[in-house]
C-alpha cells in the first residue's frame, strides 16, 4: 500500500484541506447502510474514514472518488463526522499530487474547459447564450427584477437547452422582468470544487461575483440545485450575498401570486425525484411537489424513497464528469422504481438528474416506458 504521508502528515493535510472530523468516527457503519453505492456494489465510507484516521489512505485508489456527496450518511452519522468534507480534503490532496485513477481522468479535460472557456464542455464562451435565440430574452441590465442564470448544462447540452427554453417561455408568459448575462457568465464551480480543484473553483467564483456586482445583480434565479447550493451557501465565503431563488420556488410563487395561470390539463401519472442538492442539502421539498399538484389532470405519485430518503442519481460530487460503469448507476434503480410505481413521467428539477435518468432510459431500454422531464417542461405544456 502506498501511503502519501505518515499518520501525522496525513491527518494534518486532511485538516489543512478542510476535513476535520475523521477522529470522531467510532466505526458504527451506519454510513455504509445508507450509502447508495451499496445498492450496486461494495463500498465502505466507514473504511475510508478509518484509513484516513490512521494515515493509511491509498491516494491513488478510486474509492475516495466514489462519494457523490449525496448527503445521506452525514444525516445518519451519530458522531457528526463530516464525510463529504473529508473526501473533498482527500481529493484536494490527490489533485495537488496530480494522481487521478482511470475513471476519474476525464476531470482533467473538464478543468481545462472551465479554465479556458468558463464551461466544463470546453465549448466556446461566445455560444453560451445561443439557446436563447428567438425567445425574446434580454441581456441583463441594472434595475431588472431578476437575473436568470441557466448554468452550463442548460446553455450547452442539447437535451437541457429545452429546459432553459421552457424556463424563458414561462418567465415571459408570467411577465417577469428578467435578463441573462450570457457570455459574461461562468460555471458556478460547484462540481469542480467537489473534485478537489479549489484554485479553479475560487477563480470561477471570484469572476462570477465580480460580474454580478459590476452588472448590478441583486437577485438570481437558477435552474440547477448545484448553482443554488454554491451561490447561496458557498459564495458568502467571499463576502458576496445575493438573493438566490431556485426555479421550483419561483414557479410556486408565480402560481400562488396568480401571475402564472394554468389553463390546460396534463393527463399523466407523474412521480417526482428529489435532487440531493435541492432536498437534503437545502431543504426544498414542497415547492416542486406543489407546482406539480397544481396541474389539473396530473396524477401525482410519491416515490418510495423520497424527500430526505431520496436516492441520489449518482452525478453529484463531480461524478457527473467521471466514468461510471453501466451496472453501477444509481439512476437505473431510480428509473425502475418509478416504472414499477406506474409513473408515465419521472419529473425532477436538476440538470444532473435529468442527464443521468435520460441515460438510464436509453441504457435500460425504457425509452418507451417512461419520460424524464423537468418540472418547467411539464408546466410549459399547460399554461
* Contacts to ligand SF4 by CB under 6 A: 25-31, 34-37, 45-46, 49, 67-73, 76-79, 81, 83-84
Task: Find the shortest distance in angstroms from Cβ 243 to ligand SF4.
Answer: 28
CA angle 338, 342, 346 (to 5 degrees): 40
Instruction: Tell which phi-psi region holds residue 182, choosing left (phi > 0), alpha (psi between -120 and 50) or beta.
Output: left
Q: What SS3 string covers 100-116?
A: CCHHHCHHHHHHHHHHH
Q: Residue 372 pairs with which residues in a beta bridge?
A: 346
Question: For residue 75, what is the DSSP state?
Answer: T
Smallest distance, ligand SF4 to C-beta of residue 211, A: 32
CA–CA gap between residue 57 and residue 132 (Å, rounded)? 47
d(CA 63, CA 44): 8
- 150 or 318: CB nearest ligand SF4: 318
Please say which residue, 186 or 324, places its beta carbon nearer to ligand SF4.
Answer: 324
Q: Are 310 and 380 in contact (CB under 8 A)?
A: no
Closest to ligand SF4 by CB, 246 vs 281, is 281
Complex with ligand SF4: residue 78 or 342, whichever CB lies closer: 78
Among residues 267, 242, 225, 245, the alpha carbon closest in space to that of 70 is found at 225
Measured from the CB atom, the residue of 73 and 347 that comes closer to ligand SF4 is 73
Nearer of residues 35 and 343 to ligand SF4, judged by Cβ: 35
Give all strands (DSSP E) within 30-78, no chain letters: none
- Going edge to edge, which strands form the sheet with 178-180? 138-139, 178-180, 146-149, 219-222, 243-246
- C-beta of 51: minimal distance to ligand SF4 in Å? 12
Are the C-beta atoms of 349 and 151 separated by less than 8 Å?
no
To the nearest whole angstrom, how small is the minimum distance from the Cβ of residue 84 to ligand SF4? Answer: 6
Shortest gap between Cβ of 170 and ligand SF4 (angstroms)? 32
Min. distance of Cβ 28 from ligand SF4 in angstroms? Answer: 4
State how far Cα 267 lies from the chain centre.
29
Q: CB of residue 319 vs ligand SF4: minimum separation in angstroms?
A: 9
In the complex with ligand SF4, which residue's Cβ is closer, 17 or 167?
17
Nearer to ligand SF4, 178 or 321 (CB): 321
CA–CA separation, 338 and 341 (whole Å): 5
Nearest distance from C-beta of residue 103 to ligand SF4, angstroms: 15
Amino acid at each position: 500500500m502506498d501511503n502519501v504521508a505518515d499518520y501525522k502528515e496525513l491527518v494534518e493535510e486532511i485538516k489543512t484541506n478542510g476535513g476535520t472530523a475523521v477522529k470522531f468516527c467510532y466505526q458504527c457503519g451506519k454510513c455504509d447502510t445508507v450509502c447508495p453505492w451499496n445498492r450496486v456494489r461494495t463500498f465502505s465510507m466507514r473504511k475510508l474514514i478509518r484509513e484516513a484516521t490512521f494515515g493509511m489512505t491509498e491516494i491513488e485508489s478510486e474509492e475516495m472518488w466514489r462519494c457523490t456527496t449525496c448527503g445521506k450518511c452525514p444525516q445518519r452519522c451519530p458522531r457528526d463526522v463530516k464525510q463529504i468534507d473529508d473526501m473533498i480534503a482527500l481529493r484536494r490532496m490527490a489533485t495537488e499530487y496530480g494522481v487521478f485513477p482511470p475513471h476519474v481522468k476525464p476531470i482533467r479535460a473538464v478543468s481545462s474547459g472551465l479554465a479556458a472557456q468558463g464551461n466544463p464542455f470546453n465549448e466556446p464562451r461566445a455560444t453560451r447564450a445561443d439557446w436563447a435565440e428567438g425567445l425574446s430574452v434580454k441581456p441583463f441590465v441594472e434595475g431588472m427584477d431578476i437575473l436568470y442564470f441557466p448554468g452550463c448544462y442548460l446553455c450547452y447540452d442539447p437535451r437541457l437547452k429545452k429546459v432553459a427554453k421552457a424556463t424563458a417561455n414561462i418567465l415571459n408568459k408570467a411577465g417577469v422582468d428578467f435578463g441573462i448575462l450570457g457570455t459574461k457568465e461562468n460555471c458556478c464551480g460547484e462540481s469542480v470544487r467537489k473534485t478537489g480543484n479549489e484554485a479553479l473553483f475560487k477563480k470561477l467564483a471570484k469572476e462570477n461575483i465580480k460580474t454580478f456586482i459590476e452588472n448590478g445583480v441583486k437577485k438570481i434565479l437558477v435552474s440547477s440545485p448545484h448553482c443554488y447550493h454554491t451561490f447561496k451557501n458557498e459564495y458568502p465565503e467571499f463576502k458576496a450575498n445575493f438573493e438566490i431563488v431556485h426555479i421550483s420556488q419561483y414557479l410556486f410563487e408565480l402560481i400562488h401570486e396568480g401571475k402564472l395561470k394554468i389553463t390546460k390539463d396534463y393527463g399523466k401519472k407523474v412521480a417526482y425525484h428529489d435532487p440531493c442538492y435541492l432536498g437534503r442539502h437545502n431543504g426544498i421539498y414542497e415547492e416542486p411537489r406543489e407546482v406539480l399538484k397544481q396541474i389539473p389532470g396530473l396524477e401525482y405519485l410519491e416515490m418510495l424513497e423520497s424527500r430526505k430518503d431520496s436516492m441520489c442519481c449518482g452525478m453529484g460530487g463531480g461524478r457527473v464528469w467521471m466514468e461510471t460503469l453501466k451496472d453501477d448507476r444509481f439512476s437505473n434503480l431510480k428509473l425502475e422504481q418509478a416504472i414499477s410505481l406506474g409513473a408515465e413521467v419521472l419529473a425532477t428539477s436538476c440538470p444532473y438528474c435529468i442527464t443521468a435518468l435520460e441515460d438510464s432510459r436509453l441504457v435500460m431500454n425504457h425509452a418507451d416506458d417512461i419520460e424524464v422531464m423537468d418540472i418547467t417542461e411539464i408546466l410549459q405544456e399547460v399554461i
